[in-house]
Structure 1
Amino acid sequence: MSETAYPPVSKHLDDVEAAQTEGRRKMDWALQHMPILQALRSEFEAEQPLAGERVGMAMHVEAKTANLVELLALGGAEVAITGCNPLSTHDDVSAALDAHENITSYAVRGVDDEGYYDAIDSVIDHNPTITVDDGCDMIFRIHEEYPELIETIIGGCEETTTGVHRIRAMERDGALKYPVFAVNDTPMKTLFDNVHGTGESSLATIAMTTNLSYAGKNVVVAGFGYCGKGVAKKAAGQNANVIVTEVDPRKALEAHMEGYNVLPMSEAAGKADLIITTTGNRDVVVEEHFTEMKDGVLLANAGHFDIELDLEALSELAVDAYEARDGVDAYELEDGRRLNVLAKGRLVNLASPIALGHPVEVMDQSFGVQAVCVRELVENTAAYDAGVHDVPDDLDKEIASIKLDAEGVSHDSLSDEQIDYLGSWDHGT
């Protein structure tokens, strides 16, 4: 490691043993409800598919993620991990991971920007052969600061929408120098994690943080991708009046046909009791919108980075700012209106003080996909050139089948004749 390496989490905590015990308790609870990872643990422990590999990770370090990390270590890998968001780390879980002989965790909650990137550098100092990323910060850091490591990296996985946007942009610019699976874009991720996970966890976190109901309120959902669809669906299910804002005419039409009111943000902002952004883009809610908002409005972000709400502009408009409630910062304007920002504009379902992230069952599916993608990179290294790759369909189906088996659900399969029919072109009317 370099002389300036950021120390593991154990060096940051006063009572490491107590933290490890509590973190393990959280991990054990989550694992009870993760049948996919349980099944893969048996396979990975027995077959050691990752023996000799070094996995570098930048993820949300909490109990569900920790079970993925431990799975990779049980499969034979040496794992180093840090957080992908300064406010989503659970220090006790990070400490429990760091106690494992094959895992080093640098994740610490609440670090500043310098500490955040120092911790990523410390993970990279382990010379990973595989990267697992949530937001592309580690992939980007390796390409920008440690290009000499690229020739020994066999591949990586990217977990989230924002990160996939970044790796696809890198690929378009000819800048992505090793293969990366776009885990976010596979059906087992988009249909469950993004829709049900984001929808349920974001709204649950907002409700618990504020102690407020959705019934009868105007909930503005910015963006109608998979995450936005989930938030809109779950909010409507709690009797909210859902308004969707969109820049894509097809998605705007889809939202309209689903029965939602579709408006530009310039009109929606003044009607909102809650605005929740899900776009993955910047400057979604800006000064012109703040000036139109009602007193008491809630502002939350369910996108990856804290740039969807222009908090710099809001700070300049405000004559006072204070913590109204744990996880809620009130910005009081000159006319007395108070605009309430949750989780400092960061990913609300993970960065709020009481946030727990997506439901355990949902992340079991997504992390199952991550695990088999890491296994695939090791087993079939030569099959993947530098660039972005879709998750092989058979791997996605493998995870679905494990889940169905665990739930005791049977389903039909195609006969040989049906397979032949679907694969032919000469069967006419």
Structure 2
Amino acid sequence: MPTDPPLNSLGLPKAPADTRVVVAMSGGVDSSVVAAMLKEEGYDVVGVTLQLYDHGAALAKKGACCAGQDIHDARRVAEAMGFPHYVLDYENTFRESVIEEFADAYLAGATPVPCIRCNERVKFKDLLETAKDLDADCMATGHYIQRKIGAQGPELHAAADAARDQSYFLFSTTPEQLAYLRFPLGHLPSKAETRKLAAKYGLIVADKPDSQDICFVPSGNYAAVIEKLRPGAADPGEIVDLSGRVLGTHRGVIHYTIGQRRGLGIGGLGDSPLYVIRLDPERRQVIVGPKEALATRIVPVREINWLGDAPFESRAEWPLSVRIRSTRAPREAIVRPLGATEAEVELLTPEDGVSPGQACVFYAPESSRIFGGGWIWKGHTG
């Protein structure tokens, strides 16, 4: 009887030469290493880079480190390693799916995370469909996250290197997408190992610095981008305390974030510094108070993507760990489903600075496994 061919390194029952892989190439060192590694292993590699915003304007800036350069770098890596490379114009899709919502969320007093929406609505949706149109068997990216096979199929796990882990930004990956995606760098112990591989393959991007900012906010100046997208967004208003007493004026709600302490220009309350507790865009008010007023125990979450083995609503509550900001470690919580895609999350230890627009990502306790997550959609409730 014929036996099934052994699985290759991507978990597919084919020889590498018969396995087409689309690699999402950003022009950075991570995705370049993924493409080079798979090409060296003998896979049929196709590199694809997305043009997400106007590179002509970016290139015109003197000394700008911009996506135009990134596309150029991706193309040179593909040429050096000998595989085809395509650039797809996703500028309109990116504006409609990511930038417009980013601007609206910011104006509504939220603190959005556009990188998650980009993965969800562009890279893992439209680009993934393009990969299938190219008859690829799977799509690989340079994200630091792990895909492992469990009893019920593919599972999402945090990266081996906690310092590089990108699970917060990938919680909305669906089971169907996970079946098709591969993350060849997730098991590496450190970014230094990635750069070693880049040097081994002789890649021109081996020493290229990591990008730190949101791609369409290269200077980190969110307010300037919002003002450009939404003229009049920086209208001034009042800074008030929790009782509504006016303490001063501000230069536009978009310049403030929940938990902010510096730059308020109103001093403190006696010996206690004041923090931004809430933003009220409709009244154009920045509400401030003492640090203890920031403490949040109950977090309302919606648009939940669930990656657990049992249905989300099969339990009244799930004891999980949750992360409410990308820069914070997961904390113990109880997640109570209110429907298939909505929940109330109770933090066992209150957290400061919980902000609408941020993600709340679910992790299995004492495990690297990600159970999905959702979006925080209302301000804090004690």
Q: What band does the TM-score fall into relative to the shorter chain?
A: 0.3 to 0.5
- Higher share of residues assigned helix: 1
TM-score normalized by structure 2? 0.33
TM-score (norm 1): 0.30
- Structure holding more strand per residue: 2
